[in-house]
A and B are shown apart, each in its own frame.
Chain A
Amino acid sequence: MNFMKLFTYLLPLFCLSLGLFIMAQTAQYVRVAFRAPRNGKGRSAHVA
């Protein structure tokens, strides 16, 4: 078996999957981290 051929196909597929996962996680993080402040206290007030 040619290991280089194996990795040349396997690693990019892993990267594509991880990239899509991180995109979804980023969208969720942005929604939570930058949501509009309520009562002038922002996110901290909700976390607390």
Chain B
Amino acid sequence: MALTTLDLAVIVAYFLGLALFGVVVRRIQAFEDYSVAERAVPTPMVLASLSATYIGPGYSLGLAAKGASSGFFFLILFLFFSLQTVLVGMFLAPRLRSFTDCHSLGDVMGSLYGREAQLLTGLVSLGLCAGFAAVLARAGGAVLAEATGLGLVTAVLIVTGVGVIYTYTGGLKSVIATEAAQFAIILVAVGAMVLIAAGQVSSFDGVQAAAVQATRDKWGATPGLALLGLALSFLLGETLIPPYANRALAAESEGASRRGFVLAGLFSVVWFTLMVIIGLMGKLLVPDTKDTEGVFVALAAKVLPAGALGLLLVAIAAIVMSTQESLLNAGAVAFTRDLARPLNLLHEGAQLTVARVTTAVMGAVSVFFALRAPTIIEGLLICYSIWAPTVLPALVWGLLGFRTGRWSGVLSIVLGGVGSGFCLIAKVAGGDPAVAILVGLAASIIGAGIGRLFKNPGDQP
């Protein structure tokens, strides 16, 4: 990609600015700052940081590519994610915030079901965060390498290293501040790009007609069961994963938690629609793009002037980094609170140090996996796929105020994980994640039911 000096200057200034911010925020001194940002995050910051976290490469560049090939088909499916986020905001996020002594989802599960459930939740959380952080390290490095001509290793080290600096020093507090700033950059850069590109579209009638036809074709070619499975994946796949849940815990009040999630869910409708529009315009304006995955960047390179292209590439780096840093922070907090602390591996005063060291280690591990061991990443990503059937049923059950018991929590997590993991590893139904979610959910509910048969003196009434 041909970048001007001005574009490169914008990119360098962005990374230097982030690194400098990491040095400036080194003054935080309490674990509560690091894990839940002092529980003082106002509604606009919850909205911005949550949105920046869920907008990863898949929800931006990936959706634009799907828009180019399938019209509005995937937009309809992505709206199930929007619905999920709004529902979580209305019914679950405020209840999570009411756990005022909890720093992580594992803490909440521990309060509801006991120490074993906390350990299991911590383990799944850590695997999920590490695996996805590694994927993002590679994705971010690839974008920077492609844009600047740097080697992949150097690019991966820059993207992850700069993020680790401010996550290490400022924890969730600085992650939320930088995410909000990155979110603003993303909105301005992408908004400007779409407006400029729109001026070059000769006929919107033609684009719309082609998009509607592509949607119909894709809809007609997809079996009903596959549609149901995809909708279920979008509805449940990312529900209350640790980085999202941490925003609910960090909000300044139950109302801020509710409003932040509901607004982020509603904003996702705007964002997803915009991505599909980018894909459709890209198909028209840069028809020679070999791989539809590159349609977003190809459109930007075609329509944006010098300097603005650098800003757009910064926005793409921000899309990756904001998600990655959330995962590093959530993974570090999960390790500290849900694994090291319950196993008596540390005393209360050492939590901040352990969380910081874990952040740095996770950053290094994600770089290593990103460059050397993609198969291990696949293994860790199973944690991502089994999140919904393991932790979610017991978590939602407990948050809604139903009776909880130690064994029902543990068996719900274990059987949900076994059922879903088996389907994924043994490639049942071709390894379809939607089938794995369904089987895992059924196993999880059965596990909870079996657990109810056991009585434990520690059970909550």
Contacts and interface: CB of A to CB of B under 8 A. Distances in A.
Interface in A1-48: 2-5, 7-9, 11-16, 18-23, 25-26, 29-30, 33-34, 36-37, 42-44, 47
B264 to A, nearest CB: 12
Contacts, number: 119
Contacts of A16: 187-188, 191-192
Interface in B237-281: 267, 270, 273-274, 277, 280-281
A33 B174 CA distance: 9
B44 interface: yes
Contact of B204 (A8, A26, A34): A8
B358 to A, nearest CB: 22
Given A22-B44, A47-B38, A37 B27 contact: yes
Contacts of B273: 7, 11
Interface of B: 24-25, 27-30, 32-33, 37-38, 40-42, 44-45, 47-48, 170, 173-174, 176-177, 180-181, 183-188, 190-192, 194-195, 198, 201, 204-205, 207-208, 211, 267, 270, 273-274, 277, 280-281
B377 to A, nearest CB: 32
Interface of A: 2-5, 7-9, 11-16, 18-23, 25-26, 29-30, 33-34, 36-37, 42-44, 47
Given A26-B181, A29-B45, A34-B27, A11 B270 contact: yes
B426 to A, nearest CB: 43
Nearest to A42: B29
- Give the 8 A-B residue pairs with the shortest CB-CB distance, closest first: A19-B187, A15-B191, A5-B204, A12-B191, A26-B180, A25-B44, A19-B188, A16-B191
